[in-house]
């Protein structure tokens, strides 16, 4: 069977997972840890979208455990909106069904903004 067709069929039988979260205000120059609830502790992340309430620069990263020092994903600098298409097998090492994000506001102090996050993926078994 064609590998692309097989992948599409498998994808259609897997459950789509959407995790969403909204932050409070993040001050310029600060980073906020955001725990995004997801349905399962193991997902194949297909996309991450972060929208900012203002037209400012920011970065997004995630780790598989809050104690991890090195990020498994880092967006690079984005402005106002970030949409990254991924193919990352994410495992919440704590088993709490959370995606551990860090959002950094790269603007000067005093420039506050809120962020909304949407994670889409497929359940892994």
Residues 30-85: pLDDT tens digits?
999 999 999 888 999 999 999 999 999 999 999 888 888 888 999 999 999 999 99
- Reference 71, options 116, 49, 43, 101; nearest CA is 101
Residues 6+ apart with CB under 8 A from 4: none
Q: In terms of C-beta density within 10 A (0-12 exposed, 13-18 middle, 19 or more buried), how is residue 53 classed?
A: middle
Distance from C-alpha of 37 to C-alpha of 27, rounded to nearest angstrom: 23
pLDDT tens per residue across span 84-107: 999 999 999 889 999 999 999 999
Residues spanned by the domain of 41: 3-123
Work out how many domains the chain is built from and give that number.
1
Which backbone phi and psi does 10 adopt, to 5 degrees? -65, -40
The model's pTM: 0.83
- pLDDT confidence band for 11 (50 / 70 / 90): low
Comparing CA positions, the residue from 71, 55, 52, 75 lying closest to residue 63 is: 71
**Average pLDDT, integer, range 10-34:** 84
pLDDT score at 7: 62
Query: How many alpha carbons fall within 13 Å on the CB side of residue 83?
Result: 0
Would the pLDDT of 28 be above 80?
yes
Q: What is the CATH number of the domain that holds 50?
A: 2.60.120.380
Confidence band, pLDDT 50/70/90 cuts, at residue 10: low
Distance CA 118, CA 125 (A): 22
């Amino acid at each position: 069977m064609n590998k692309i067709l097989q992948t599409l069929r498998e994808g259609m039988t897997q459950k789509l997972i959407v995790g969403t979260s909204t932050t409070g205000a993040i001050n310029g120059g600060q980073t906020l840890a955001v725990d995004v609830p997801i349905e399962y502790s193991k997902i194949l992340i297909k996309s991450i979208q972060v929208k900012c309430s203002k037209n400012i620069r920011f970065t997004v990263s995630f780790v598989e455990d809050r104690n991890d020092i090195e990020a498994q994903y880092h967006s690079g600098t984005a402005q106002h909106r970030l949409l990254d298409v991924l193919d990352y097998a994410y495992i919440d090492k704590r088993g709490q069904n959370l995606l551990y994000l860090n959002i950094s506001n790269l603007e000067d102090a005093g420039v506050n903004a809120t962020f909304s996050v949407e994670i889409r993926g497929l359940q892994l078994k």
